[in-house]
Structure 1
Amino acid sequence: MKTLLLGAVAYDPKVVPIWDIIRDYANANAEIFGCKLDYVLFSNYERQVDALLNGHIDVAWNTNVAWIRTLHATQGKARALVMRDTDVDFTTKFVCKKGSGIQNIADLKNKRFGLGSMDSAQAAIMGLYYLQKECAQDVILQEFDSPDACGRGKSDTLKTSSLSVVRHNSDVGKHGDTGRSEFEILEAIKAGELDAGSIGSSTWIRILQEGSYPDIESFWTSPGYCHCNFSVMPKFDSKLAESFTQMLLSQNAKKDNPVIAKMMQMEGLNAWIRVGESELRAYDIIYKAMEEQNLLKNTL
């Protein structure tokens, strides 16, 4: 019986119990689904994408950025199998301090705006894309500096004609999974060092639930796009792909099992879903943004 080797990125200690649970579930039900599972952890998504492209792993749990780089490297032939229900209709939120007078993108003229890690779709790539799209006459990147950013991780400032865009390049290689750069942005807004910034909808929901930034509000939300998926190469065996898919989908009916429920809670999903045409189309806007920002190449 084939043992599939899955790749995931170690962005947080919780990923170990998450993949242990999924592996153990797959192997306990191997006779039902026709395959076993093991996993390896990578320190960054660039190495994981490289491993998938070179056949060292069978399946990769990819961010949207890693998926698009895989898609680009395979001339659009890579396949996405399964994602979380929470990976659908993901959005980027622009946030500011309450009472700042910022109500829309046009109000950002002559302001200081924070972007997250350069490889984070939610905190940087889509934020920059829509800044340029919505006020192209005001956001023209002219210079590139590297200030200290008050000691909160490596940052870069993009000087524009009327908007100072500050990058918080924390945990590059994790594609925004740690969320560190988004919280740096929130802290900088709170401290008055930024007027506004870009974060992901999952971080926005988290801080609303926790009540941790009561003085921060959202003034703009992007159109929806998709986040993570399980990616395979074009020639990956179709029967094994379906076995892997069915194994994951079967967990949706096991949420009364405390172990499965724990895994889903830690991984941030209510259900696994099959990737369809609508989900694939929702990556198109990120592909366009990455192409414009010269981010399609998987650079190790």
Structure 2
Amino acid sequence: MTQRQRPLMIGATAADPKRAVFIWNAIRKYFNEAGLETEYALYSTYDALCGAVLDGHVDIAWNAPMAHAQLLLQSPGTCRTLAMRDTDEDVHSLIVARADAAIADLDDLRGRRLALGVDISSELFLLPTAQLAEDGFDITSDCELVELEATEYSNLQRWVDDRAIFGAVMDGRADAGVIFEPWLGYLLRRHELAPDDIVEVWRTRPYCHCAYTSGPSLSETDSKRFVELLVAMDPEDPDIAEMMRMEHLTKWVRATDDGWSDLMGAVRKADLVGKIF
């Protein structure tokens, strides 16, 4: 067995620097105490992180779905899916409408106003629009798209998020909107709504969300050891319990590339392979 010449390097983004440092200090401590010497590096964007993976500076990346799918597409068989949170498995995007909007299904949505995320958003645009097309609904001709103002975040990227889309539906700027299902409970509470105040018009097929991606520099031995230790994390361990709460999971689970196949197809269809992470 070949001995590692340096610590295992895990990469992630620092969208929320304070939380990110707490989370990755806890993860680093866990792996080091388990005997797998580990360091981490935080990057400003997924483009920078994934570039570091492809260049061999990062062994494993904690990735958003688009970044993960792009690495799988660009380096098939070299970059691989390792694991994900239990909350990343079999998730959905939804089209929701107000209960008083008289929209119960896709036929009712024809000719109405639909709010979506930016066109590179995996869960708020790419996956839903690709699967809507498969279900016979073309967003370019079957509805009117509502243009919402994007918010610029601290890493200089601009996004239209679930809160903006749901708000547009609730205040009447849109008749319906696409949201990521795990956000639904929070959005209902924020707007002081009951579940029956909205209607689920349509949902995507289940897909997987964030993931750990292995890079070309990761050996099979280290890959196996990393996943074994990761899935063995005990949510009752006081040293990692708060990290798991902040990362919105109760356990880590093994994963394969299959959960991102629909997204990879949507990325190919949109001619985005290698263009954005």
Same-fold call, TM cutoff 0.5? yes
- Specify which of 25, 31, 42 is matched with residue 26 of structure 1: 31
Question: Do the aligned partners of residues 216 and 259 (structure 1) sit closer, same or farther apart at CA in structure 2, a change above 3 Å counting?
Answer: farther
1:184 CA drift (Å): 0.3
TM-score (norm 1): 0.81
What letter matches 2:215 in structure 1?
A: M
Partner of 2:214: 232
Residues 52 and 6 (structure 1 numbering): CA distance in 2 closer, same or farther, change over 3 Å? same
The answer on whether the counterparts of 1:83 and 1:274 sit within 8 Å (CA) in structure 2 is: yes
Counterpart-to-counterpart distance in 1, 2:46 and 2:154: 6
Partner of 2:169: 189
Counterpart-to-counterpart distance in 1, 2:27 and 2:276: 30
| Cα deviation, residue 255, structure 1 | 1.9
Partner of 1:218: 200
Q: Deviations over 1:215-252 (max 9, x none)?
A: 4332222110111111112452111111211221221x
Identical columns (%) = 29
- Kept after mapping to 1: 8 A contact 2:63/2:210: yes
- Could you report, residue by residue, the CA deviation over 1:183-217 in whole angstroms, capped at 9, with x for unpaired residues? 00011111100111111111124335666444433
Separation in structure 1 between the aligned mates of residue 23 and residue 159 of structure 2, nearest angstrom: 18
Give the residue type in structure 2 aligned to 1:242.
K
Counterpart in the other structure of 1:119: 120
Q: Secondary structure in 2 aligned to 1:282?
A: helix
Q: Measured at CA, do residues 235 and 14 of structure 1 come closer, stay the same or move farther in structure 2, by a change above 3 Å?
A: closer
Contact 1:117 1:167 survives alignment (8 Å)? no
Q: Which moved more, 1:92-101 or 1:163-172?
A: 163-172
Superposition deviation, residue 68 in structure 1: 1.2
The number of aligned residues is: 268
Gapped runs of 5+ residues in structure 1?
140-159
TM-score by length of 2: 0.87
CA RMSD, Structure 1 to Structure 2 (Å)? 2.5
**Closer/same/farther in 2, CA of residues 213 and 298 from structure 1, 3 Å limit:** farther
- The worse-fitting range, judged by mean Cα deviation, of 211-220 and 81-90 is 211-220
Determine if contact 1:118/1:172 at 8 Å carries over to the other structure. no
CA shift, 1:173, in A, is 11
Q: Could you say which residue in structure 1 is the equivalent of 2:80? A: 79
Larger RCO, structure (CA 8 Å, separation 6 or more): 2
Unmatched 5+ residue regions in structure 2? none
2:54 touches 2:216 (CA, 8 Å); kept in 1? no
| Counterpart amino acid of residue 11 in structure 2 | G
Q: Distance in 2 between matches of 1:267 and 1:292?
A: 31
